[in-house]
Amino acid sequence: MTMDINYSPLGFLISLFFIVTFLAPQVKSRAFYVFGDSLVDNGNNDYLVTTARADNYPYGIDYPTRRPTGRFSNGLNIPDIISEAIGMPSTLPYLSPQLTGENLLVGANFASAGIGILNDTGIQFKLYELGARRVLVTGTGAMGCAPAELAQHSRNGECYGALQTAAALFNPRLVDLIASVNAEIGQDVFVAANAYQMNMDYLSNPEQFGGKEYKGSLLRHSADTEM
């Protein structure tokens, strides 16, 4: 069964969220491809002329090297955790000069911070026709809790309510949209992940996930629970 994804809303999904792609089950080797924005960028923006960079302290403070890696994280990010779970090394940035030879067989990370939400980004990828059978689509995270929003709109560490409300309204609609796309395909290819709820679960109870809370809103991750 084939599918043409050169249309909205699927193109919108692919451009807005990061996408995890596994090759079809009949292929012995698996590859892992990541598309998205700063949530899953692992260094592509370090090779671009842009202000959206994660190449300074405190980024990477809990990474094994204790140095910035281009990830917008204190340590590992979501694709790294998934790579570990499936027994593969982390994918390299698409722009990395090391992405050659055997490294290409592992997959690649195409994510770039600030990539935007334009429909014309995703129409280049006919993932289903190329063998993708599992695509993970993350919803909008806790946008009101982002450091930039806290700096502009918060005086006591509380997340910015307007953006939190927008995320809470958007994510259920995303789930409905994914369900309709899967129904059209006839298979559960696309899987929704509630990034907002995951963020809020951690913020409300960091100890449960190996973190610590101090100064009201700042979180410190333990070395074995970087995200």
- The confidence score (pLDDT) of residue 116 equals 60
**38 catalytic, yes or no?**
yes
Q: Token pair of 176, please?
A: 């409905």
46-96 pLDDT per residue, tens: 998 888 888 988 889 999 899 999 998 888 988 898 888 888 889 999 999
- Domain termination residue (choose one: 77, 106, 136): 136
Q: Which of 8, 15, 29, 38 is catalytic?
A: 38
For residue 2, being part of any structural domain is answered with: no
Predicted confidence at residue 220, as pLDDT, reads: 37
Q: Which residue has the higher pLDDT, 221 or 201?
A: 201
Domain boundary among 112, 136, 160: 136
Same domain, 130 and 145: no
Residues 31 and 126 in one domain: yes
pLDDT tens-digit readout, 130-161: 777 788 888 888 888 887 888 899 888 888 99
Task: Determine the pLDDT at residue 109.
Answer: 92
Closest CA to 69 of 83, 59, 79: 59
Determine contact, residues 210/223, Cβ cutoff 8 Å.
no
Residues 120 and 181 in one domain: no
Last residue of a domain, one of 136, 170, 194: 136
Summarised one tens digit per residue, pLDDT across range 88-124 is 889 999 999 999 888 888 899 998 887 764 554 454 4
Tell me, what's the pLDDT at 165?
92
| Domain-embedded: residue 210 | yes
Of 5 and 171, more confident:
171
Q: Which residue has the higher pLDDT, 152 or 185?
A: 152
Percentage with pLDDT > 70 across the chain: 74
Q: Is residue 47 part of a domain?
A: yes
Same domain membership, residue 131 and residue 44:
yes
pLDDT of residue 185: 82
- What is the pLDDT confidence band of residue 179, given thresholds at 50, 70 and 90? very high
- Residue-by-residue DSSP string for 32-71: EEEE-STTT-BSGGGGSS-S----STTTTTTSTTSS--SB
Query: Which residues have a Cβ under 8 Å from the Cβ of 119 and sit 6 or more positions away?
Result: 8, 11, 12, 15
The token pair at 186 is 């006839």
pLDDT band at 126 (very low <50, low <70, confident <90, very high): low
User: Which domain does 148 fall in, by range?
Assistant: 139-227
Burial of 20 per CB tally in 10 Å (0-12, 13-18, 19+): buried
Q: Are residues 53 and 109 in the same domain?
A: yes
What is the distance between the alpha carbons of residues 38 and 15, in angstroms, rounded to a whole number? 13
3-state helix, strand, coil in the chain (%, to 5): 35, 15, 55
pLDDT at 10 over 80: no
pLDDT beyond 70 at 205: yes
